[in-house]
């Protein structure tokens, strides 16, 4: 090796160490023997002993939540994936059905659509949990919800807090069942959930805003020791079930383009009037 | 949020496209207009890159801008089989996925902020702000810009060095321009790149794309999608090539090379 190469090898040594090799602490498949997930044997320690949701959270985070906590999160997922093709991600899945794509196309497109800062439970969980963490710190320091509200951007003189407003209707039908299932599973309301409910009461009194499914679940996950980034991982495909249903609903129309067909005039054109192309 | 705070429109809106309905069948269009121009007339009179510029910017690109846009498109056409986006499509191809999944798979891998489409938007912001703050570059100002690593996007090192190919591309494109004043962002980036050579850093592919997009009038958000469009051909071609090969045509890491640290 020339002296020039010897001198420059340090620059790419980092990549050289990883060349043709995978180093992982997450898991490994030992063909014909077993699979290890975050240090547990899949076949002797996990399968038949934990739920799929527990395993999913374990794979994402390395944390093995209790069965009750994972069961509650499953309820939350049921509340994140309605089979109603008006919802944005489901509308995309329905269009995929109408176009005759595969179900995997539809669910992938729906998951991407729901990777939104406005709805969907994946990215919104991360945003909402980060807010709750900051809000709790401010509340502990200042003992005032007024100071907590200052953390949030304002719109129409109302604080915009992820998890404390719902983009269709104020009453969130999921809150009652969530509380009922927590009680049935023997789960206590933790520090974050109690704080979130108190924030909701304050927001309702002052701005007619209230906690929604996302805010409730965000607080619950923080109480389980899940970080915002981990929640984004866990809930990355939470809308899949409803999306597949809406896809299937539109797969077998007698003609193409049967899902919400649009006439030319159903699109409002707001651009430049017709003009000649210059030569 | 109260229900009254949301007022959903009754119709979808667009300023890009107008379809003149057929008299007999309102679902069919008799003619289509892109930013006011009849598409049939466009295809007869204008090049693909002039019209692609129109689609994203609202006006037909001037000829010299369309030429630079096309040169960028050639530079980005195939990022090569080692680029994560192309490689993802190749893995999808060899793994026998449905052929229509190959391009979207590569585009998803290529969407990230570390050298992918998301970095182009960040690089546009970086170039715009740095150019405003330091319109005239010197060794000192370049030092300031490079020190602020939080804002530095589309610029830096690849595998610990300047990206040789990105450097070749910026030189070729910049040297082909007759009127550099018409390309203020690319001119600034070109100079910044020259000043940075001694530091072992330089322009990266997303930075090059960002400067060209800024000069042709593409907005930062739109730049993400345009970058995806321009890198699509290589992703598709390389992925499709693998789809014709057996699944054994690509290495599979053996147990000895898979280090599991429990």
Which tens digit of pLDDT belongs to each residue from A48-91?
A: 999 999 999 999 999 999 999 999 999 999 999 999 999 999 99
Find the residue in A nearest to B13 (Cα).
A268
What is residue A153's predicted lDDT score, i.e. its pLDDT?
92
In chain A, domain spans: 23-64, 123-234
C-alpha dist (Å) from residue B143 to B102, B133, B139:
42, 13, 6
Give phi and psi for B62, each to the nearest 5: -65, 155
- The pLDDT assigned to B5 comes to 57
**Do B55 and B111 lie in a common domain?**
no
Residues listed for chain A: 279
Contact (CB, 8 A) for A258 and B23: no
A209 in contact with chain B, both atoms CB, cutoff 8 A: yes
pLDDT confidence tier of residue B1, bands split at 50, 70 and 90: very low
Alpha-carbon span B142 to B195, nearest angstrom: 7
**Spatial CA neighbour of B87 closest among B250, B220, B222:** B250
A278 sits in which H/E element:
none
B115/B229 same-domain check: yes
Q: Locate all alpha helices (DSSP H) within B78-138, ordered by sequence.
A: 84-94, 102-109, 117-133
Confidence of residue A112 (pLDDT cuts 50, 70, 90): very high
Contacts of B28 in chain A (CB under 8 A): 264
Average pLDDT over residues A165-185: 85
Per-chain mean pLDDT for chain B: 94
- Nearest 10 degrees: Cα torsion A52, A53, A55, A57: 160
Tell me if A158 and B100 make a contact (CB, 8 A cut-off). no
Measure the CA angle with vertex B25, ends B19 and B29; round to 5°: 20
CATH level 3 topology of A123-234: Cytochrome p450-Terp; domain 2 (1.10.230)
Structure tokens belonging to residue B23: 């008299």
Q: Rounded to the nearest 10 degrees, what angle do helices A67-78 and A213-223 cross at?
A: 160
> Does the beta carbon of B262 lie under 8 angstroms from any beta carbon of chain A?
yes
Q: How far is A180 from chain B (nearest CA, A)?
A: 24
* pLDDT at residue A279 in the model: 87
10 Å CB burial of residue B234 (0-12, 13-18, 19+) is: buried
Nearest to B81 by CA among B71, B93, B98: B93
pTM for the predicted model, two decimal places: 0.89
Q: Is the CB of A101 less than 8 angstroms away from the CB of B100?
A: yes
Q: How far apart are CA B69 and CA B52, in angstroms?
A: 9
DSSP H or E stretch at residue A273:
none
Beta bridge partners, B203, equal B155
Query: In this structure, are residues A238 and A218 in contact, taking their beta carbons and an 8 Å threshold?
Result: no
B62 and chain A in contact, CB less than 8 A: no
Summarize pLDDT for B64-123 with one digit per residue, the tens: 999 999 999 999 999 999 999 999 999 999 999 999 999 999 999 999 999 999 999 999
Q: CA A228, A231, A235: angle at the middle one, nearest 5?
A: 145
Q: Please report the residues numbered 87 through 146 in chain B whose beta carbons come closer than 8 angstroms to any beta carbon of chain A.
A: 98, 100-101, 104, 108
- Judge if B147 and B226 occupy the same domain: yes
* pLDDT tens profile A9-38: 688 899 999 999 999 999 999 989 999 999
- Do B262 and A36 lie within an 8 Å CB cutoff? yes
Longest dimension (CA), chain B: 70
Residues B58 and B85 in one domain: no
Give A207→chain B minimum CA distance, Å: 9
What residues in B contact A39, CB-CB < 8 Å? 262
Residues B57 and B84 in one domain: no
Angle, alpha carbons A136-A142-A148 (nearest 5°): 50
Q: Does the pLDDT value for residue A270 go beyond 50? A: yes
Predicted pLDDT at A1: 36
Which of A30, A208, A271 minimises the CB distance to B16? A271
Residues 69-98 of A with CB under 8 A from B: none
Q: Distance (Å, rounded) from C-alpha B117 to C-alpha B226?
A: 9
Q: Which residue has the higher pLDDT, B261 or A110?
A: A110
Both B119 and B233 in a single domain? yes
Residue B253 belongs to a domain: no
Q: Is residue B238 part of a domain?
A: yes
Chain B (211-250) residues lying within 8 Å, Cβ to Cβ, of chain A: none
Give contacts of B60 with chain A, Cβ < 8 Å.
Answer: 277-278
pLDDT higher for A6 or A238?
Answer: A238
What angle do helix axes B205-216 and B117-133 make, rounded to 10 degrees?
Answer: 70
Distances (CA, A) of A13 to A10, B96, B156: 5, 34, 17
Residues B44 and B88 in one domain: no
What is the band of A208 on the pLDDT scale with cuts at 50, 70, 90?
A: confident
Q: From B252, which residue of chain A is nearest by alpha-carbon distance?
A: A20
Contact B109, B260 (CB under 8 A): no
Q: Does position B3 have pLDDT exceeding 60, yes or no?
A: no
Q: Among A158-162, B65-69, B73-77, B187-191, where is mean pLDDT lowest?
A: A158-162
Tokens at A32, concatenated: 């014909």
> How far is it, in rounded angstroms, from Cα A208 to Cα B259?
55
CB burial of residue B216 (10 Å; 0-12, 13-18, 19+): buried
Residues A144-151 have a mean pLDDT of 94
| Chain B residues closer than 8 Å to A267 by CB | 11-14, 17, 19
Tell which A residues from 155 to 184 touch B, by Cβ distance under 8 Å: 156, 158, 165-170
**Measured on CA atoms in the order A10, A12, A17, A20, is the torsion positive or negative?**
negative
What tokens appear for A210 in the block?
Answer: 């209230």
Q: Are A57 and A76 in contact (CB under 8 A)?
A: no
**CA nearest neighbour of A200 among A171, A180, A169, A178:** A171
Supply the mean pLDDT for chain A.
92
Q: Does the predicted interface ipTM exceed a cut of 0.95? A: no
Which residues, numbered 1 to 40 in chain B, qualify as contacts with chain A under a Cβ-Cβ cut-off of 8 Å?
A: 1-3, 5-6, 9, 11-22, 26-29, 33, 35-38
With a cut of 80, say whether residue A6 has pLDDT above it.
no
Cβ–Cβ contact B259 with A under 8 A: yes
- What is the reported pLDDT for A168? 47
Residue B191 lies in a domain: yes
Closest residue, chain B, to A165 (C-alpha): B1
Sequence-ordered list of residues with C-beta below 8 angstroms from that of B161, at least 6 positions apart, any chain: A8, A11, A12, B200
The rounded distance, in Å, linking the Cα atoms of B35 and A81 is 38
A40-41 and A34-37 strand pairing:
antiparallel
Largest CA distance in chain A: 76
CB A264 within 8 A of CB A105: no
Task: Specify the number of domains making up chain B.
Answer: 2
Q: Give pLDDT, residue A4.
A: 45
CA distance A4 to chain B (A): 14
- In this structure, the answer to whether residues B110 and B230 fall within a common structural domain is yes
Q: Which residue of B has its CA nearest to A159?
A: B1
Share of residues in chain B with pLDDT > 90 (%): 89
Residue B19 to residues A14, A97, A257, A264, B12, Cα–Cα distance (Å): 55, 25, 17, 6, 13
**Alpha carbon of A186: minimum distance to chain B alpha carbons (Å):** 31
What residue numbers bound the domain in which B221 lies? 75-243
Are B119 and B22 in the same domain? Answer: no
| Residue A24 at interface with chain B, using a CB cutoff of 8 Å | yes
In B, which residues are within 8 Å of A156 by CB distance? 5
Ramachandran angles phi, psi of A237, nearest 5°: -125, 30
In angstroms, what separates the C-alpha of A94 from chain B's closest C-alpha? 18
Query: H or E segment at A46?
Result: none
Paired tokens of A193 = 């959930």
In a shared domain, residues B88 and B189: yes
Distance CA B160, CA B202 (A): 11
Of B41, B60, B258, which is closest to A22 when you measure between CB atoms?
B258
Average pLDDT over residues A95-99: 93
- pLDDT tens-place string over residues B19-56: 999 999 999 999 999 999 999 999 999 999 999 999 99
């Amino acid at each position: 090796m020339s002296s020039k190469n010897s001198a420059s090898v340090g620059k790419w040594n980092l990549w050289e160490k990883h060349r043709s090799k995978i180093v992982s602490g997450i898991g490994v498949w030992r063909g014909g023997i077993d699979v290890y997930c975050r240090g547990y044997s899949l076949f002797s320690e996990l399968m038949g002993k934990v739920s799929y949701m527990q395993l999913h959270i374990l794979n994402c985070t390395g944390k093995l939540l209790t069965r009750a906590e994972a069961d509650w999160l499953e309820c939350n997922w049921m509340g994140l994936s309605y089979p109603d093709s008006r919802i944005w991600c489901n509308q995309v899945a329905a269009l995929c059905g109408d176009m005759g794509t595969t179900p995997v196309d539809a669910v992938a497109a729906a998951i991407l659509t729901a990777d939104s800062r406005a709805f969907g439970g994946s990215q919104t969980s991360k945003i909402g949990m980060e807010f709750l963490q900051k809000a709790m710190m401010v509340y502990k320091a200042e003992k005032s919800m007024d100071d907590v509200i200052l953390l949030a951007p304002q719109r129409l003189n109302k604080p915009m807090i992820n998890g404390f407003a719902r983009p269709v209707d104020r009453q969130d039908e999921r809150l009652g069942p969530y509380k009922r299932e927590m009680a049935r599973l023997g789960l206590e309301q933790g520090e974050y959930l109690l704080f979130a409910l108190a924030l909701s009461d304050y927001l309702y009194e002052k701005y007619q805003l209230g906690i929604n499914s996302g805010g409730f679940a965000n607080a619950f996950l923080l109480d389980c020791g899940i970080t915002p980034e981990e929640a984004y991982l866990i809930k990355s495909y939470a809308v899949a079930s409803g999306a597949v249903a809406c896809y299937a609903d539109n797969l077998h129309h007698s003609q193409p383009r049967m899902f919400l067909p649009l006439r030319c005039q159903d699109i409002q054109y707001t651009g430049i009037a017709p003009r000649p192309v210059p030569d | 949020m109260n229900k009254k705070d949301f007022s959903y429109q009754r119709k979808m809106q667009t300023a890009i496209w107008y379809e003149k309905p057929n008299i007999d069948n309102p679902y069919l269009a008799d003619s289509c207009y892109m930013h006011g121009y009849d598409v049939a007339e466009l295809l007869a009179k204008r090049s693909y890159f002039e019209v692609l510029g129109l689609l994203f910017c609202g006006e037909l690109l001037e000829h010299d801008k369309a030429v630079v846009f096309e040169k960028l498109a050639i530079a980005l056409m195939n990022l090569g089989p080692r680029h994560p986006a192309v490689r993802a499509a190749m893995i999808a191809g060899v793994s026998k996925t449905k052929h229509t999944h190959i391009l979207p798979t590569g585009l998803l891998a290529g969407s990230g902020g570390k050298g992918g489409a998301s970095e182009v938007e960040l690089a546009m912001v970086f170039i715009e702000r740095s150019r405003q703050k330091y319109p005239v570059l010197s060794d000192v100002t370049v030092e300031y810009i490079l020190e602020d690593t939080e804002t530095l996007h589309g610029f830096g090192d690849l595998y610990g060095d300047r990206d040789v190919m990105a450097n070749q591309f910026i030189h070729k494109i910049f040297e082909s321009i007759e009127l550099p004043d018409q390309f203020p962002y690319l001119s600034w980036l070109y100079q910044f790149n020259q000043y940075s050579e001694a530091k072992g850093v330089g322009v990266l592919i997303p930075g090059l794309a960002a400067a060209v997009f800024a000069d042709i009038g593409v907005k930062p958000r739109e730049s993400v999608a345009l970058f995806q469009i321009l890198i699509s051909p290589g992703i598709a071609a390389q992925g499709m090539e693998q789809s014709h090969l057996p699944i054994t045509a690509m290495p599979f890491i053996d147990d000895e090379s898979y280090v599991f640290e429990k």
